[in-house]
Structure 1
Amino acid sequence: MPLSSNSLIHFTSDKESLKGILEDNFQIFNCRESVVLGGRRTSWVIPMVSFCDIPLSEIKEHISKYGHYGIGMTKEWAIRQGLNPVLYMAQNSMLSESYRKAWNDALETSEDEDLWTEAERNLCDVLRYIKNYEGDLVRKETKINNYRFSDEREWRYAPPHSEDYEFLVAHQWYKIGNNKSDTDNKLLPLRLRFEPSDIKYIIIDNDTEIGEFIDHLRREKGKNYSLHEVERLTTRILTVEQIMSDI
Structure 2
Amino acid sequence: MEIDFKETPELEQNLHWHNSSNVLCNYMREPEYLIKILKNQAIIPRYVTEPLDYLKVDGLKRIAFPMTCFCDIPFSKVGNHMTSYGGYGIALDKNKVIRNNRIQPIHYMNPASPLVADFKEAFNANYNVGKKAHKEDEVLLNYLLSTLLYMKPISNLVEKNGKYKMYIFQDECEWRYIPDCKSISSIPLIINDNKITEKRKNTYSDVLEKHPETWVKFDWNDLIYIVVPDEVALQTIIDAIMELPLDNAKKYLLISKIQISNRFTEDLV
TM range (shorter): 0.7 to 0.9
- Preserved CA contact (<8 Å) 1:12 1:69: yes
Q: Could you say what secondary structure the match of 2:210 adopts?
A: coil
Is residue 204 of structure 1 aligned with residue 228 of structure 2? yes
For 1:134, the equivalent position in structure 2 comes to: 155
Aligned equivalents of 1:96, 1:245: Cα separation in 2: 39
Aligned equivalents of 1:208, 1:244: Cα separation in 2: 17
- Preserved CA contact (<8 Å) 1:7 1:75: yes
Stretch deviating more after TM superposition (158-167 or 235-244): 158-167
Give the partner amino acid of 1:103. Answer: F
Q: Could you say what secondary structure the match of 1:117 adopts?
A: helix
Instruction: State the identity as a percent.
Output: 24
Aligned equivalents of 2:69, 2:43: Cα separation in 1: 10
Is residue 195 of structure 1 aligned with residue 219 of structure 2? yes
Q: Could you say what secondary structure the match of 2:116 adopts?
A: helix
Which one of 102, 124, 134 corresponds to residue 145 of structure 2? 124
Aligned equivalents of 1:211, 1:180: Cα separation in 2: 33
Q: TM-score, normalized by length of structure 1?
A: 0.86
For 2:126, the equivalent position in structure 1 comes to: 106
Is residue 236 of structure 1 aligned with residue 257 of structure 2? yes
Structure 2 residue runs without a partner (length 5+): 1-16
User: 1:184-239 CA distances to partner (integer Å, 9 max, x unpaired)?
Assistant: 3432324221111111101111112323312211212xx2x444332221111011
Aligned equivalents of 2:232, 2:240: Cα separation in 1: 14
Larger radius of gyration: 2
Which one of 73, 87, 92 corresponds to residue 54 of structure 1? 73
User: 1:51-82 CA distances to partner (integer Å, 9 max, x unpaired)?
Assistant: 10000000011111111111111101221212
- Preserved CA contact (<8 Å) 1:10 1:71: yes
Give the partner amino acid of 2:151. Answer: I
Aligned equivalents of 1:143, 1:126: Cα separation in 2: 31
Aligned equivalents of 1:236, 1:228: Cα separation in 2: 13
Structure 1 residue runs without a partner (length 5+): none
Which one of 217, 226, 231 corresponds to residue 241 of structure 2? 217
Change (3 A) 1:142 1:207: farther
Q: Could you say what secondary structure the match of 2:209 adopts?
A: coil
User: 1:101-146 CA distances to partner (integer Å, 9 max, x unpaired)?
Assistant: 222222232189xx9834422321111111001112335x265522
Give the partner amino acid of 1:64. Answer: T
Q: Over aligned residue pairs, what C-alpha RMSD do you find?
A: 2.7
